[in-house]
A and B are shown apart, each in its own frame.
Chain A
Amino acid sequence: MSQEPSNQTLYDELTAYLDGELDAEAVRRVEERLARDADYRQELHKLERAWDLLDGLPRATVDDEFTKSTLEMVALSASQEAEAVAQELPRRRRRQRIVGIVSMVAALLVGFVVGTQIWPDPNRDMLMDLPVLEDLDLFYQADNIEFLRLLEEEDLFPAEGPDES
């Protein structure tokens, strides 16, 4: 049984069977064939034995020096990280301060706009009535507003201009 492309599926199946990666139906199919096909059984046996030989490969055991030097490398990395953060700090603080000031100014502007909408300026009405207020004494001397309107329409008292005399 050589490794022809047509055999690839067969080996995929045997390998997955050995690794416990087949579903129940595929396991049943493989076991049925194993029961009746001696060549198939032999291939499975060879694959399994070759795989088991890997158990004899040496496993590494590192010494204390490895552990120590690795931890030193990590500690160095940690201190470099902390240093970078410390260097970044004044720049970050400055950025934070600018952002804080800008935010405060924006908040004040928004507050002002909203405030003027909610609470109108009490002096605004007085400013609108200013021309009347300025001549309030004169208006008190006339008894009614209709009489004043008539005077204005007659143009008896044109606006004061420069003294012509």
Chain B
Amino acid sequence: MAVSESSAQQYQLQDPDVRLMLQVRDDNAAAFDELMLRYQNRLVTVLEHLVGRRDQAEDLAQEVFLRVYRARKRYVPGAKFSTWLYTIANHVAANALRSRSRRHEVNVTGKVSESGASSFLDKMAVAASGAMPARQLDKAELRGIVREALEGLNERQRMAVLLNKFEGLSYADIAEAMEMTPQAIKSLLSRARVNLKEILEPYLEDGTRPQ
């Protein structure tokens, strides 16, 4: 991607992480340590919710940091550092998910269609029908429900949600990280929000879930 001198300078002025990455480019090891410390928890969080497994998320995060290091000499600030980092993370995660599906492993995400239908929804429907007793949820159960709801989204919706919710990236930044248009991200996030709402509707209605 061609980056103009003025936009590179602009990112350098506005983003301290861009300045750190430029020091990494000049082989400053301490700058790399600092960047890693700033991003390791955030990156593992996003990747864990994306691939559904902590151990794999850590492996992928290491792969991302390694790619950042190897790409340092070619680095030109053309976006916020976090956008650049999550562009790499998106590629690494997509490759991992692709090879996992090629190996026919169990899909831990319980992937559903764009409309968000899932076995989880079915369970919620059973609860709503009164076939099972319902009760108020404690915090851990609620976390479980929300995690399942997130895993009910497809891979791209999940990535967009995580970048927007956890990383606070704008539509434009998410679009850059996921190599899509901002308009496509707008639709993606809209569908993701609707799916989440539908999956979580029983809880939102009466605060219960099936036991």
Q: State whether B142 touches A77 (Cβ < 8 A).
A: no
Chain A residue nearest in CB terms to B143: A56
Cα A96 to Cα B150 in complex, Å, equals 58
Cα A56 to Cα B41 in complex, Å, equals 16
Q: Contact flags (1/0) for A37-65 with B, using CB distance below 8 Å?
A: 00000000011011101111111111000
Q: State whether A70 touches B186 (Cβ < 8 A).
A: no
For B28, the chain A residues whose CB sits under 8 A away are none
Q: State whether A49 touches B146 (Cβ < 8 A).
A: no
Tell me the B152-188 residues at the A interface (CB within 8 Å).
Answer: 161, 164-166, 170-171, 186-187
Cα A77 to Cα B200 in complex, Å, equals 45
Q: State whether A71 touches B54 (Cβ < 8 A).
A: no
Q: A3-B115, A62-B58 are in contact. Are A57 and B147 (CB under 8 A)?
A: yes
The residue in B143, B189, B197, B203 that gathers the most chain A C-beta atoms within 10 A of its C-beta is B197
Chain A nearest CB, measured from B170 CB (Å): 7
Cα A67 to Cα B33 in complex, Å, equals 9
User: Looking at the complex, which of A8-16, A103-111, A113-121, A150-158 is the stretch in contact with chain B?
Assistant: A8-16
For A74, the chain B residues whose CB sits under 8 A away are 32, 65-66, 69
Q: State whether A71 touches B115 (Cβ < 8 A).
A: no
B17 at the interface (CB under 8 A from A): no
Q: State whether B44 touches A62 (Cβ < 8 A).
A: yes
Cα A20 to Cα B75 in complex, Å, equals 31
Chain A residue nearest in CB terms to B40: A62
Q: State whether A69 touches B142 (Cβ < 8 A).
A: no
Tell me the A1-35 residues at the B interface (CB within 8 Å).
Answer: 3, 8, 11-12, 14-16, 18-19, 21
For A49, the chain B residues whose CB sits under 8 A away are 200, 204
Chain B residue nearest in CB terms to A43: B197
Q: A19-B171, A56-B142, A71-B36 are in contact. Are A47 and B150 (CB under 8 A)?
A: no
Q: State whether B196 touches A51 (Cβ < 8 A).
A: yes
Chain A residue nearest in CB terms to B54: A60
Q: State whether A60 touches B142 (Cβ < 8 A).
A: no
For B48, the chain A residues whose CB sits under 8 A away are 60
Partner of A54, one of B161, B189, B203: B161
B45 at the interface (CB under 8 A from A): yes
For A73, the chain B residues whose CB sits under 8 A away are 62, 65-66
For B204, the chain A residues whose CB sits under 8 A away are 46, 49-50
For A140, the chain B residues whose CB sits under 8 A away are none
Q: State whether B189 touches A19 (Cβ < 8 A).
A: yes
For B54, the chain A residues whose CB sits under 8 A away are 60
Chain A nearest CB, measured from B169 CB (Å): 10
Q: State whether A11 touches B150 (Cβ < 8 A).
A: no
Q: State whether B65 touches A58 (Cβ < 8 A).
A: no
Cα A70 to Cα B62 in complex, Å, equals 6
Q: State whether A11 touches B193 (Cβ < 8 A).
A: yes
Partner of A77, one of B36, B58, B70, B171: B70
In the assembled complex, 26 residue pairs joining A and B whose CB atoms fall closer than 8 Å, in A order, are A3-B115, A3-B194, A8-B191, A11-B193, A19-B164, A19-B189, A47-B193, A47-B197, A50-B193, A51-B193, A54-B165, A55-B165, A56-B142, A57-B49, A57-B143, A60-B41, A60-B57, A62-B40, A62-B41, A66-B58, A67-B37, A67-B40, A70-B36, A70-B61, A70-B66, A77-B70
Q: For the A-B complex with A56-B143, A60-B45 known, give 6 more contacts whose Cβ atoms are closer than 8 Å.
A: A50-B197, A53-B142, A55-B165, A56-B139, A74-B65, A77-B66
